Amino acid sequence: MLSAEAESYVRGVLERNNRSLAKTITLVESVLPSRQKLAREIVEHLLPHRCKAVRVGITGVPGVGKSTFIESLGMYLVGKGHRLAVLAVDPSSARSGGSILADKTRMERLSAEENAFIRPSPSGGTLGGVASRTRETMAVCEAAGYDIIIVETVGVGQSETAVASMVDFFLVLMLAGAGDELQGIKKGILELADAIAINKADGDNLEKARRARREYENALHYLSPVSPNWTPPVLTCSALKMLGIEAIWSTVMTHHRKLEAVGELEAKRRQQALAWMWTLLEEGLKERFHQHPAVKRRLPEVIGAVQRGDCAPTRAANELLFLLDKDSDI
Ligand SMILES: Nc1nc2c(ncn2[C@@H]2O[C@H](COP(=O)(O)OP(=O)(O)O)[C@@H](O)[C@H]2O)c(=O)[nH]1
Ligand SMILES: [Mg+2]
């Protein structure tokens, strides 16, 4: 049975009330165990009511034009009658605080749209935590009838991998003149990309952008594609001048249709559902470990012993894990 409190949240979301939606997401992001319990109850009830949204992850270094791009793409999509939710997974902006405000002002036009819902980064929380709540948040938005979900993430290693593993399509925004940075961390990001778009292809930058496009095409050539049914294309666009935005969206839709036709999209979603379960399971186990009375009692001592070198880490871990098998009142 659904508690009365949970029911009012569920009803609000299903009635597509954006205030209820925002409140539900705040609950989902809460770190308080009692709030989390309520959030899980609500999410579970909302899951069957999700619409089949197209989920797109967008990444790129700060300044590449993600927010500008999302606003241009968002205006285009809303104009076509879609309902769009934008979620930001950006631990750096959560820390600095200021950039959230800047982002908000940049998406001014989109935020004024009735069919757009913009949710800035949650403050605090670990990277893994933020990303795991993003799944729940997407589900809640889908239950509120948002048929396109965009997840924005900043180019800092872990968060992209996490976001790429929870969307249908992963778009990497790049800048021209970054050809010499193709190695290292960038290569890792390219491997996740379903498409690359060279942004700021306007004015004096146009020729450079075209050159960069060829360079990235070459670079992609040497990577094994994510899917056997899809070769990631490299496109150019200007988020500011709203050029090339339509072509990028049509690429997303082509990818969607192709993967859907061969059953790959369904397989991907199932894989993601399993990954979601494992994330929750690992979180739950960790929490139980830290809540366990015997562990709580013994942990500080064991930590001290390992730090002093009096106890081997291997033995310490074993001993602590063994405590879980004991009755909590021993
Ligand atoms: N010339 C040009 N400038 C752009 C374009 N897209 C974004 N910008 C500018 O680049 C700066 C950073 O954009 P922003 O969207 O905040 O980047 P983010 O940090 O990736 O979200 C802003 O001053 C934008 O006006 C573009 O397509 N062309
Ligand atoms: Mg931004």
Ligand 1 atom 10: the closest Cα is on which residue?
A: 65
Distance 49 CA to ligand 2 centre (A): 31
Are 213 and 236 in contact by the 8 Å Cβ rule? The answer is yes
Decide if pLDDT at 193 tops 60: yes
Structure confidence by residue, pLDDT tens digits, 273-303 = 998 899 889 888 998 899 999 999 999 999 9
Locate tokens 């009096």: which residue?
310
The per-residue pLDDT of the chain, averaged, comes to: 87
Which residue owns the Cα nearest ligand 1 atom 9?
A: 65
Tell me the three state secondary structure of residue 109.
helix
Element (H, E) at 119: strand 116-119
- A 10 A CB-CB count for 22 gives 14
Residue 19 predicted with pLDDT over 50: yes
Lowest mean pLDDT segment, chosen from 123-137, 186-200, 224-238: 123-137
Task: pLDDT band for 241, please (50, 70, 90 cuts).
Answer: very high
Q: How many angstroms separate the CA atoms of 85 and 55, rounded?
A: 10
Reported as a pLDDT band with limits 50, 70 and 90, residue 146 is: very high
Name the band, by pLDDT with cuts 50, 70 and 90, for residue 182.
Answer: low
> DSSP 3-state assignment of 114?
coil
Q: How far is the CA of 186 from the centre of ligand 2 (A)?
A: 19
Percent of the chain with pLDDT over 70: 86
Is the pLDDT score of 123 beyond 60? no
Amino acid identity for residue 59 in this structure: T
- Please indicate whether residue 96 or residue 239 has the higher confidence score (pLDDT): 239
Q: How far is the CA of 54 from the centre of ligand 1 (A)?
A: 25
Using a 10 angstrom Cβ sphere, with 0-12 exposed, 13-18 middle and 19 or more buried, the burial of residue 59 is buried
**CA 291/CA 312 separation, integer angstroms:** 24
Extract the tokens encoding 48: 């069957």
| Cα–Cα distance measured from residue 206 to residue 198, given in angstroms and rounded to the nearest whole number | 10
| Phi, psi (degrees; rounded to nearest 5) at 163 | -65, -40
Q: Is 85 left (phi over 0), alpha (psi -120 to 50) or beta?
A: beta
Q: Which of 141, 134, 145, 136 is nearest to 51 (CA)?
A: 145
DSSP 177: T
- What's the gap in Å between 56 CA and the centre of ligand 1? 19
At residue 283, φ and ψ (nearest 5 deg) are -60, -45
pLDDT surpasses 80 at 217: yes
Q: Residue of the nearest CA to atom 8 in ligand 1?
A: 65
Tokens of 221: 């050539």
What is the torsion angle, in degrees rounded to the nearest 10, for the CA atoms of residue 68, residue 269, residue 36 and residue 134? -10
205 Cα nearest atom in ligand 1? 1
CA dist., res. 7 & res. 11, Å (int): 6
Closest CA to 189 of 172, 211, 202, 176: 172
Mean pLDDT of 45-50: 95
Ligand closest to the CA atom of residue 69: 1
Per-residue pLDDT at 157: 63
- On whether the CB atoms of residues 25 and 135 are closer than 8 A, the answer is no
pLDDT at 154: 76
Residue 240 Cα to ligand 1 midpoint, Å, equals 7
DSSP character at residue 243? B
Task: Give helix then strand counts, H and E, for the chain.
Answer: 15, 7
pLDDT in tens, 222-236: 887 778 899 999 999
Q: How far apart are CA 308 and CA 311, in angstroms?
A: 8
User: Would you say residue 155 has pLDDT above 70?
Assistant: no
Domains and CATH numbers, the chain: 1-49 (1.20.5), 50-261 (3.40.50.300)
The ligand 1 atom at the shortest distance from the C-alpha of residue 173 is 20
User: Counting ligands in written order, which one lies closest to the CA of residue 66?
Assistant: 1
**Ligand 1, CB cutoff 6 Å, lining residues:** 60, 62-68, 106, 199-200, 202, 238-240
Bridge partner residues of 175 (DSSP) = 199
Q: Minimum-distance ligand to the CA of 199?
A: 1
CA atoms within 13 A on the CB side of 108: 3
Put simply, whether the predicted model's pTM sits higher than 0.75 gets the answer yes
Of 240, 241, 242, 248, the residue with max ligand 1 atoms within 8 A of its CB, to mutate for a pocket test, comes to 240
Query: Averaged over 64-72, what is the pLDDT?
Result: 93
Residue of 184 and 206 predicted with greater confidence: 206
pLDDT recorded at residue 107: 86
Q: Three-class SS of residue 59?
A: strand
